[in-house]
Amino acid sequence: MNEPVRILNLFTIMNRGGAETMVMNYYRKIDKSKVQFDFMVHRQERGAYDDEIEAMGGRIYRMCPIFPQNFAKYKKMLKVFFDEHPEYKILHSHMSELGCFAFQEAEKHGIKVKICHAHNAPVKGSMNLKEKGQLIFRDYFKKKMLPFTDHLFICGEEAGNWLYGEENKDRFVMMNNAVDAEKFRFSSAVREEMRKEFGIENKLVILNVGRFNPQKNHTFIIDIFKEIKALQEDSVLLLVGNGDLQEEIKEKVKKLGLTDSVKFLGLRSDVDKILQCADVFLFPSLYEGLPVTMVEAQSSGIKCFISDVIPQQCVLTDDVTALSLSKGAKYWAEQIVMLKDGYERKDRYDDMVKADFDITSNAKWLCDFYLAQYNNAYGENL
């Protein structure tokens, strides 16, 4: 084989979200002499990972957003795209049910390997009225998509059950949200360096990494931290990420008089180092698929406090404590403050490898999967 098989990945935009970060983990480690990643995105602005993608030889194609008013335009754009790019034989969508448009057009163009990837599992009880209303349309597109999908990838069973239905369990293909476990290995030297950089020496440091959207439950994070401060004055909260609710959360922090103790760090490329300097990873999400940030956190040996609605499959070490959201902010704070005197950080590299969440073996698995499916579908021996 002279040229690698080019995989067309579908995303909204390549920013530092969980699914995007996971795919980049695979992209960095996959054998690019055999497989190359390209990306169809649905925003005109550049994403945080665009420079790195292009540096590794990836191509980025920009489409219009998949909004109802754009459906007709988007379908025409897809037809033109696949007419002009017959080189794509494998399509890997990370856009949940909205991949149905691309799958339908790909089917017309004879593409025989169409992969849908379930990354999340919404929970009705945690949705607002708008999100509940959107479920009607989401359910419609899920059913419309399924007949055109050749492989049903999942990050966890809950995500697969929601997107594809439990009746299709025998078709699920687990793709682990693997990380570079060596990169996240705990280092006391890095810990001291980062704590000095942030000016948080001798503090109890709480960390959350996630988009500022309802799912990540930032308002409850602030409530918990307020209670932590009442119990342990020398505490600080680090928030990594951005999103629509960021200004609202900043306003809440200001009203509660916590501005000096809460650091909004924005999007960061050094989450591995920030994890080293924190004492507690706080993750009270309303729902999740199998969060990459949880795998990263456990790789660093940090103590994690998560909501009990997060899938048990993401618990890979004994550093994780799952609590009910109904227990309230004060209870969460009391459990966290028990760690105020510190604890011994363990090297979790071997645990991550044993759990099969290290990226090296997983990237080889994915490369082999793509090539096998290409051979089976198109009768070519790569």
C-alpha–C-alpha distance, residues 285 and 164, integer Å: 22
Beta partners for 91? 8, 114
**Does the structure show a pLDDT above 90 at 123?**
no
Instruction: Read off the pLDDT band of 95 (50, 70, 90).
Output: very high
C-alpha–C-alpha distance, residues 292 and 280, integer Å: 17
C-alpha–C-alpha distance, residues 318 and 114, integer Å: 37
- Mapped to the 3 state alphabet, what secondary structure does 14-79 carry? CCCCHHHHHHHHHHHHCCCCCEEEEEEECCCCCCCCHHHHHHCCCCEEECCCCCHHHHHHHHHHHH
Q: What is the mean pLDDT of the chain?
A: 94
- The whole-number pLDDT of residue 371 equals 97
**Does the structure show a pLDDT above 80 at 129?**
no
C-alpha–C-alpha distance, residues 364 and 34, integer Å: 11
- Each residue's pLDDT tens digit, 144-156: 999 999 999 999 8
- Each residue's pLDDT tens digit, 162-179: 999 999 999 999 999 999
DSSP-H helix ranges across the chain: 18-29, 50-55, 71-84, 100-108, 129-145, 157-164, 188-198, 218-231, 246-255, 271-277, 292-299, 329-337, 349-354, 359-378
Location of structure tokens 């935009």: 13
**Does the structure show a pLDDT above 80 at 317?**
yes
- The whole-number pLDDT of residue 273 equals 97
**Does the structure show a pLDDT above 60 at 206?**
yes
- Each residue's pLDDT tens digit, 212-256: 999 999 999 999 999 999 999 999 999 999 999 999 999 999 999
Mean pLDDT of 309-327: 94
Pairing of strands 320-323, 235-240: unpaired
**Does the structure show a pLDDT above 60 at 81?**
yes
C-alpha–C-alpha distance, residues 369 and 136, integer Å: 34
**Does the structure show a pLDDT above 90 at 359?**
yes
C-alpha–C-alpha distance, residues 208 and 282, integer Å: 5
Contact 206, 238 (CB under 8 A): yes
**Does the structure show a pLDDT above 80 at 125?**
no
Mean pLDDT of 257-265: 97
CA distances from residue 267 to 21, 221, 248 in whole angstroms, order as listed: 12, 18, 17
C-alpha–C-alpha distance, residues 270 and 201, integer Å: 19
Q: What is the DSSP letter of 179?
A: B
C-alpha–C-alpha distance, residues 9 and 300, integer Å: 29
- Each residue's pLDDT tens digit, 70-80: 999 999 999 99
Burial class from Cβ neighbours inside 10 Å (0-12, 13-18, 19+) for residue 59 reads middle
- Each residue's pLDDT tens digit, 26-76: 999 999 999 999 999 999 999 999 999 999 999 999 999 999 999 999 999
- pLDDT higher for 138 or 374? 374
- Each residue's pLDDT tens digit, 15-29: 998 899 999 999 999
The sign of the dihedral angle between the CA atoms of 52, 57, 62, 66 is: negative
Question: How much is the pTM?
Answer: 0.88
Percentage of the residues of the chain whose pLDDT score is greater than 90: 87
Q: What is the DSSP letter of 367?
A: H
- The whole-number pLDDT of residue 136 equals 80
